[in-house]
Amino acid sequence: MNNPSTPRALPFRLTSPFSIGLISPSGFVRDASDLQSAIRHLTADGHTVRPGRNAGGSWQYFSGTDTDRLSDIRQAATDPGLQVIMATRGGYGISRLMDRIPWEQMALGGKSWVGFSDFTLIHLGLLAKTGMVSFAGPMAAVDLKSDLSSHEGWHFLSRLLTEPVVSMPPVSTPHPYSGQTIEGTIWGGCLSLLAAATGTPWMPEVEDGILFIEDVNEEPYRIERLLFQLYHAGILSRQKALLFGEFNQCLPGPGSAWPYTLDHVINHFRNLLPYPVLTGFPFGHVAGKLAVPIGGHARLTIGKNGYKIRFSEYNK
């Protein structure tokens, strides 16, 4: 999708229960019981779960060596018995693999690749290299280690995997914009990873997109600096809307000379950009996140007191 005319490559529309492969392409799972709990709860929900060889492994900061983690990605991509490939956790590590990841293999199988945080790089690379839609959503050892019956994010992801059109619950949030409807490709993820991918072959050239961003443990001035990386690279000028998700623990530090807050950042970009900049998008490093089809189509309807989003064209 470096070429904006590249058609979407879509994962298969599924019926529940799913066959789920678990991989740890970034950091190691710190508490093995979290991974085992996720497997237990997914199995109790009727799904078949197969952890990759290194899903519960540990080597330095990572779940395995670069070769180990690449092997798990390749194995998951080519295993005909798997429908959904889900990361166990994020952290750091995918940057080391980007030039060796088998992007075409990952797209050819029609599988649904799911994760967030460091997994943002997988979403971006798949979209840039193959046009493949993937899903920003829950990760096993982070989000699914308790009963799934009331897990809103898991249920929303399940709807995206099984239904052709899904709408997010309406978002109530103040904004200065008149009522309007905007349609385009929905994409984005963790802001620090979007900035890291800028200027690389793995940054998709999305035209007329709806970009969502989120992050964790970044001071507001750093968030603004990361956004300016996208702005000066021309990425923001090609979008039609910017959605701020959850910025968890993103407060001015105790050593700040002046309490520059996220509200200051948002207001600055509302004055800078010629399209809506909205807050409250329900995704981020938080327990209550939903799921997003990266590279799918979105219809954003802005009303007086908030907005709503409908997703389509993300499976086949």
As annotated, the active-site residues are 117, 214, 285
3-state SS class at 237: helix
Torsions phi, psi for 179 (to 5 deg): -60, 135
Angle at which helix 262-272 crosses helix 220-232, to 10 degrees, equals: 20
Half-sphere exposure of 88 (CA within 13 A, CB side): 35
Report how far residue 252's alpha carbon sits from residue 83's, in angstroms, rounded to the nearest whole number.
42
Does a cis peptide bond (omega within 30 degrees of 0) precede residue 164? no
With a CB cutoff of 8 Å and minimum separation 6, the contacts of 250 are 215, 216, 217, 218, 219, 220, 223, 262
CA distances, 299 to each of 35, 180, 210 (Å): 36, 11, 9
Residue type, 55: A
With a CB cutoff of 8 Å and minimum separation 6, the contacts of 22 are 35, 38, 39, 49, 50, 51, 52, 55, 86, 87, 88, 140
Report how far residue 295's alpha carbon sits from residue 155's, in angstroms, rounded to the nearest whole number.
20
Residue type, 265: V
